[in-house]
Amino acid sequence: MLVTYREALNQAMREEMQRDDRVFLIGEEVGYYQGAFKVSKGFVEEFGPERVRDTPITEAGFTGLAVGAAMAGLRPIVELMTFNFGILAMDQIVNNAAKVRYMSGGQFSVPMVIRGPGSAAHQLAAQHSQSLEAWFCHVPGLKVIAPATPHDAKGLLKSAIRDENPIIFIEAQLLYGTKGETPEDEYTVPIGKADIKRPGEDVTLIAYSKMLLLSLEAAEELAAEGIEAEVIDLRTLRPLDVPTLAESVKKTGRLVIIEEGWKFAGLGAQIAETVYSNVYDYLDGPIVRVTGEDVPMPYTRPLEDLAIPDKARIIAAVKQVL
């Protein structure tokens, strides 16, 4: 079944809310407005305002409410209008959601999903274009997911809703309208498992979210020159699927990591260290990272384009390691 990324998320939440009446959705404009990006279209009509809760503009407030609800036995889905606004809820996410199970000695779990758009869209400028996944990956107790395709978005969101831990689920804003095939039957995608989206022998490309689509485009262009790149979609950023990454680099001997976030202390640095420490003897060249520029996102389109990785930079990085 061909669906958009937005529709896949809608299906995942609807199916889980139908399956388990403990699941509810909370956030700004998720009810009668149907979500800022229309992901919750039709929900308030089907499930009612008790389970599809519109909130004031209080990220710390409704995220904290969801933490308490999860501790009390419910399974909340928190929609952030953008993960840039999640900064306002970092105390609830980092000091409460991520730590309650540990600090209670396992007496309480926090089964909740915090989801919404992340990374840059088009000309949303410095305060609304940030890729903050490395922040969340730094926190023990959080699982972090960033799917690139409708298939993985649906399957991973269903798995996240069923998980007993707090999940950060980042949806790149520019992916909402992209299309892909999903099975008509019930399915889930396991958390913590990467996926080889394109096999290859010459170089490994590791990417996630919308950088995965860019990497696949680069791989096709490289194939026309006789360079076969293996493209791995992380899907889950924490926990990291180290065996899949290590086996690929063992085969190819070369690695390029692509991420939209800032380079300094970025997620790619952790991936590079992890791969290096596991398969150092198999590397035939230095690991190369393609990242966003270490600047606040410019507003003007030409400068925004320069700040974000593009296909040409990925191809140049591959040729560098070869």
Q: Which residues are catalytic?
A: 59, 128
The residues, ordered by sequence, that sit 6+ positions from 71 with a Cβ below 8 Å of its Cβ are 100, 108, 109, 110
Inter-axis angle of helices 150-162 and 5-19, nearest 10: 30
Residue type, 119: S
218 phi and psi, to 5 degrees?
-65, -40
Distances (CA, A) of 37 to 114, 177, 200, 278: 15, 10, 36, 41
Q: Residue-wise over 77-101: b if at least 16 C-beta within 10 A, else e?
A: bbbbbbbbbbbebbebbbebbbbbb
Handedness of CA 39, 195, 239, 318 (dihedral sign): negative
269 sits in which H/E element: helix 267-279
Contact 6, 40 (CB under 8 A): no
How is 119-130 classified by DSSP, letter by letter?
Answer: S--SS--TTS--
Strand 288-292 with 2-4, pairing: unpaired
Contact 161, 77 (CB under 8 A): yes
